[in-house]
A and B are shown apart, each in its own frame.
Chain A
Amino acid sequence: MITEIEHHRGGARSAAFIGIVVLMCASAMTFSALVSAMVVRRGLNATDWHRISLPHILWWNTGILLLSSVAIDLARRLLRRGKRTEFNYAWTAGTVLGTLFLIGQVVAWNQVAGDGFRLQHSLSAAFFYVLTWAHAAHVVGALGAVGYVEYRAVRYQLGPANRTVVDVSAMFWHFLDVLWLGLMALFAFWS
C-alpha cells in the first residue's frame, strides 16, 4: 500500500507546522524580554553585579540535552523511513535524556544556591534562576508532548504517514536546545 503524506496549504500537517513556529516565536519573545531585562539592568550599574559561578553540571546538562536532541532527530528520521521499532528505541532514549536534563537542572539549582547565590541574594542570581526556570518550564511542557508521542509510539499508532505530532514535537525540542545554548552563552560570557 502506498500512501502520500498530506503536506499542502490547508492540510492539518501544514497548519501544525505553522502553529508550532508561531508558538516558538512567542516563547522567543518571552525569553528576549527576560534577557534584555538582564542586559539592561547590568548595563545600568555594573558595580553591584555579582558574577555567579556556574556549576560544572550545567555543561554536562548541556551535553545531555544535545544528545537527547540527536536521539529525537534520529528517531524522527527512522519513523520517516518506516522503521517503527527502531523509532521507539531512539525516541525513548530522547525522552529519558530529556528527563535526565531536568534532574540535572535541579541539581544545578541546588549547587548555585549552595554557593550562596539564592534567589533573593542578588539580581544576577535572580536572573539566572528566572531564565533557567522559564527554560525548565518549557522543557516540562515539551516533555509532555514527547511523552504523548511515546505513549502512542509504544502502541504503534504512529507511522510514516502519521508523524506530524512527532515532527512538531522534535522541532520544538530542537528549539529548546538552541534556547539553552543561547542561555549558556549568556551565563558564561555575559553574566
Chain B
Amino acid sequence: MSERLDAPANLSLFETASLSVERQYLTGLRIRSQSDPGVRATQAELYGGVAGTGQVVCDYVPELALRTSIFSTDHRIIARQYFYLSLIAVLFGVVLSILMRFHLVYPQAQVKWFAWLWPVKASGGVMTPELYLSLMTLHGTLMVFFVLTLAPLNAFGNLVMPEQLRAEGMAFPRLNMLSFWTTVVSFLLLIASFTCQDGGPLSGWTAYPPLSALGPIAGPGQGLGQTLWFFSIGVFCIAATLTSINFIATVIELREPDMGMMQMPLPCWNWFVTAILSLLSFPVLFAAGLLILLDRLAGTAFFLPGAGGSPLLWQHLFWFFGHPEVYIAILPGMGTVSHVISTYSGRPIFGYRAMVYATIAIAFLGMLVWGHHMFVSGLSPYSAIAFSVLTMAIGAPSAVKTFNWIATLWGRQLQLPTAMLFSLGFISIFVTGGLSGLFLGQPQIDAYFHDTYFVVAHFHLIMGVASLFGIFAGTFYWFPLMFGRNLNERLGKLHFYLTFVFAYTTFLPMHFAGFAGNPRRYADFTTFDFLVPVMPLQKWITHSAFTLAAVQLIFIWNLAWSILRNDHRD
C-alpha cells in the first residue's frame, strides 16, 4: 500500500518554510526511524524541540543508568530481568514446597521459628491446615505463573528470539519494558496477598468458587488476601497479553527479509505458537477474574449457586485458560531441546516440518481439551467422551516430537555437555509424565484418580520437572549469550545427574500414593486409617524432595559464581 504523494501542495502552513530534514520529520514527509542516519545526525538539534514550539520530536534521551539497566528497552536486559524474577520466584516456591512436605509427614511437629514467622497461623510452632493451604496456593501460583510462564517464554524468548530471527530487537521495545514492570506489579501483589492479617488465600492456584467468590465470610484467608490474589492474576494477564503481542509481531515482522516462516529455527516456532496460546488464553482468565472480583466486591453472583450463579462457569473459564497454560509452560522447552539436541548430535533436527506441524497441532488440540479437568464436576458424559478423545489425540503430535528427537540422536557420536544432558533428561521426563496423562485423560479412570496424588505426580513431572529441564538446558546453552560467560560444566553435570535421580525418586512414588487413593490438598494424612500404609511412602517422598531441593544449591552456586567470578569464556 504505497502511494506517491505530492505533499508540499498540501502544506499550507509550511508554504514558506524551507523543508529542512527536521521539518520533513515534523510534517511526516519522512518517517522517523532509529536506523535512519538522518535521525542520528539531527538528534542533537531535535532534542529540546523545534525552535519556538517547545516540542520534542524525537525519542532521544541521554542514557541514564535508570534507562539502561532498570527501565531498559533492550531485549537482552529485559530477558535477564525476567530470568532474575523467575529465579526469585522459584527459590520462594521451593522453600514453600519444603515447608509443605515437612508438614505432611510431621503434622504435629513444633518448630519455634514457625511460631515466630506466623504467630497466629502457627501459634506454638504447629502449622494450621489453613497455613498449609495458603503455602500450597502460593507455591502453585508462583511456580505456574512466575516460573513456568516467565522463564521459558519471556526470559529465553526475549534473549534468543531476536538473535535467531536476526532482528535488531523486539518489535515494540517499550511495550516489552512495560510488560516486564507490569509483571513485577503482579508479583508484588501476589506477595502482598500472603501478608494479609487474616492469612493468605488458600483456594489453590485454581481458586474454585463458591468459596473463593464469597469473601471474608468463607473463612480465614478468604478476605483481602484472596482479593489481592485475583488482582495479581488480573495484572499478570495484562502483562502476558502485552508480551504475546510483542512476540507475535516480532516473528511476523522482524524476521530477516529472506527468512520464510518454514526457515525459522524451531525455538522461534515454539515461542511463536506459545505466544499465540498466551494471546488466546490469558484474556479469558482476565474475563473470569473480572467476574469473580465483581462477585467478591460488588455483590454480583456469577459463580454463587445460592443466588442463581454457577461455580461450573468458573471451571470452564478457568480451564479454558488453564489447559493451554500447560502448553505455554512446555512448548518453549520443546523448542530449546530440539535446538540443543540438533547442535550436539551435529545434524539438523529430523523432520523439521513435522516438528512445526506437531507444535501447531499440540497447541490447537490443547485449546480444545479443558473439559478433561472437569470429568468429575458433573460434566455430561457425551462431552466427557469428546474431551477424552481430543486429549488422547494430543499423544500423537507429542509422539511425533519424541520420535523425531530420538531419530536426530540415532547413530550419532553424541557430545554430552550439561545442556545436552538436560535435553535428554527432558525427553525421559516428558515421556514418563506424558504416559500418566493417558490414564487421566479417560473419564472412567479419572473418576478414581481425580484429586489424588496420581494427578500431583503427573503434572509435577510433565509441567514442572520437564519444563524446568527445558529451562536448565536453555540456561546452560544460552548462558554465554545472557552473561558473556560459561557455567561450570563439572558442577553442571553433577547437578544434572542428582536432579534427574531425585526428581524421579520424588515424583514417581506419588503415583503409588495415588493408586492407594491418597487425596491431594489435605494438610494432614495421619488421621485417616486407610492412609496409614501410605505414610512410609510419603516420608520417603519428603526426604527425597529435601534432597532434590538441596541439590539445587549446586546450581545456585554455579550460577552465582559464574555470573560474579568466572572469567572462563571459551
Contact = CB atoms under 8 A, between A and B. Distances in A.
User: Do A and B truly interact?
Assistant: yes
Interface of A: 1-7, 9-15, 18-19, 22-23, 25-27, 29-34, 37, 40-41, 44-45, 48, 80, 82-85, 119-120, 122-123, 126, 130, 134, 155-163
A26 B28 contact: no
B13 interface: yes
Contacts of B253: 9-11, 14-15, 18
B310 A120 contact: no
B317 A26 contact: no
A163 B12 CA distance: 18
B449 interface: no
A157 B57 CA distance: 9
Given A4-B3, A6-B2, A155-B55, 5 more contacts: A5-B3, A9-B253, A9-B257, A19-B246, A162-B27
Contact of A5 (B2, B172, B254, B312): B2
A129 B320 CA distance: 23
Contacts of A40: 310, 313, 316
A18 B249 contact: yes
Contact of A15 (B5, B254, B281, B298): B254
Contact of A160 (B3, B284, B309): B3
Nearest to A14: B253
B244 interface: yes
B8 interface: yes
Interface stretch (B138-146, B300-308, B433-441): B300-308
B interface, size bucket: 35 or more
A162 B30 CA distance: 8
A25 B275 CA distance: 12
Given A4-B4, A123-B308, A161-B7, A85 B12 contact: yes
B245 A33 contact: no
B19 interface: yes
A34 B53 CA distance: 47
A120 B300 contact: yes
A160 B28 contact: yes
Contacts of B31: 5-6, 12-13, 161-162
A2 B4 contact: yes
If over half of B's interface residues share one DSSP class (helix, strand or loop), that class is named, otherwise mixed; here it is helix
Contacts of B254: 10, 15
B301 A123 contact: yes
29 contacts: A2-B4, A2-B7, A5-B3, A18-B171, A18-B248, A19-B245, A22-B244, A22-B245, A22-B248, A25-B279, A29-B283, A33-B288, A37-B287, A37-B302, A40-B310, A40-B313, A41-B313, A44-B310, A82-B10, A83-B10, A84-B11, A119-B294, A123-B301, A123-B302, A126-B300, A130-B291, A158-B28, A161-B28, A161-B30
A169 B282 CA distance: 24
Contacts of A37: 287-288, 291, 302, 313, 316-317
Contacts of A34: 287, 290-291
A51 to B, nearest CB: 14
Contacts of A85: 12
Contacts of A155: 53, 55
Given A4-B2, A22-B279, A160-B5, A15 B172 contact: yes
B6 A2 contact: yes
Chain B CB count within 10 A is highest, among A2, A84, A161, for A161
B33 interface: yes
A17 B57 CA distance: 22
Contacts of B12: 84-85
Contact of B28 (A19, A119, A130, A163): A163
B52 interface: no
Contacts of A31: 287
B3 A134 contact: no
Interface of B: 1-14, 19, 24, 26-31, 33, 53, 55, 57, 171-172, 175, 241, 244-246, 248-249, 252-255, 257, 279-284, 286-288, 290-291, 294, 298-302, 308-310, 312-313, 316-317, 320
Given A19-B249, A22-B248, A160 B7 contact: yes
Contacts of B7: 1-3, 82, 159-161
Nearest to A118: B299
B241 A159 contact: no
Contacts of A119: 294, 298-300
Nearest to A6: B31
Given A4-B4, A40-B316, A162-B28, A10 B283 contact: no
Nearest to B4: A2
A76 B18 CA distance: 27
Given A4-B3, A33-B287, A161-B31, A126 B10 contact: no
Nearest to A19: B249
A85 B255 CA distance: 38
B308 A33 contact: no
B27 A159 contact: yes
A156 B29 contact: no
Contact of B302 (A10, A25, A41, A80): A41
A114 to B, nearest CB: 18
For the complex of A and B, 6 pairs with smallest distance between CB atoms: A162-B28, A159-B28, A82-B10, A33-B287, A29-B283, A120-B299
Contact of A3 (B5, B252, B257, B301): B5
Contact of A30 (B29, B172, B284): B284
A7 B171 CA distance: 15
A163 B7 CA distance: 13
B279 A26 contact: yes
B29 A29 contact: no
A19 B250 CA distance: 9
A54 B6 CA distance: 50
A12 B32 CA distance: 9
Nearest to B309: A123
Contacts of B286: 30, 33
Chain B CB count within 10 A is highest, among A29, A41, A80, A163, for A29
A12 B3 CA distance: 17
Contacts of B255: 9-10
B288 to A, nearest CB: 7
B298 A30 contact: no
B252 A130 contact: no
